[in-house]
């Protein structure tokens, strides 16, 4: 039963190992905090997704009218860009036409103008009526 009363040299050696381990662990943790505070954790950029919300009683005719209005607004914007390109000449016209073609091919006009309502909705505004009389105390 010598393990119950080890010699002083064994106890001292165990204490040195425990002390060295605790100093090493503390140093590692402090170093990691220092590194993290210096360069930080780089979160990825958030992706924002917008969703269109409609009333529950929206009819198919309303949806078709909105789609036609959106298409007309996109075509008007593209026609405006083409009209501007037609006023240019030389290298500026070639560069502008290439930029326009890349924009259309990449679908940029769909991102810039995703939705246009055929009839603007004002039903979404909720007004709380003011109380007619002050409360009785």
Over residues 49-66, the pLDDT tens digits come to 777 777 778 888 888 888
Overall number of domains in the chain: 2
Position 34 in a domain: yes
Position 64 in a domain: yes
CB 120, CB 102: distance < 8 Å? no
Instruction: Give the residue from 75, 74, 56 showing the smallest Cα distance to 121.
Output: 56
Average pLDDT, the chain: 80
Examine the domain organization and report whether 25 and 69 are in the same domain.
no
Examine the domain organization and report whether 73 and 31 are in the same domain.
no
Position 124 in a domain: no
Position 126 in a domain: no
Examine the domain organization and report whether 27 and 66 are in the same domain.
no
- Sequence-ordered alpha helix ranges (H) in the chain: 8-39, 60-87, 91-105, 108-112
Predicted confidence at residue 71, as pLDDT, reads 87
Q: Which pTM was predicted?
A: 0.48
Examine the domain organization and report whether 35 and 73 are in the same domain.
no
Position 120 in a domain: no
Over residues 100-128, the pLDDT tens digits come to 888 888 877 777 776 777 776 655 555 55
Domain that residue 74 falls in: 60-112
Position 70 in a domain: yes
Predicted confidence at residue 129, as pLDDT, reads 58
Position 18 in a domain: yes
Position 122 in a domain: no
Contacts of 74 (CB under 8 A, 6+ apart): 109, 110, 113
Examine the domain organization and report whether 31 and 68 are in the same domain.
no
């Amino acid at each position: 039963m010598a393990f119950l009363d080890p010699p002083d040299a064994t106890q001292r050696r165990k204490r040195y190992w425990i002390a060295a381990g605790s100093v090493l662990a503390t140093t590692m943790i402090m170093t990691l905090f220092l590194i993290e505070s210096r360069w930080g954790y780089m979160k990825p950029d958030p992706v924002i997704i917008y969703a269109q919300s409609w009333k529950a009683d929206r009819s198919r005719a309303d949806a078709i009218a909105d789609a036609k209005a959106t298409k007309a607004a996109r075509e008007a914007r593209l026609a405006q860009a083409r009209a501007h390109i037609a006023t240019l000449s030389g290298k500026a016209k070639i560069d502008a036409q290439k930029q326009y073609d890349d924009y259309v091919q990449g679908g940029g006009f769909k991102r810039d103008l995703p939705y246009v309502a055929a009839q603007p909705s004002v039903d979404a505004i909720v007004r709380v009526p003011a109380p007619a009389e002050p409360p009785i105390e």
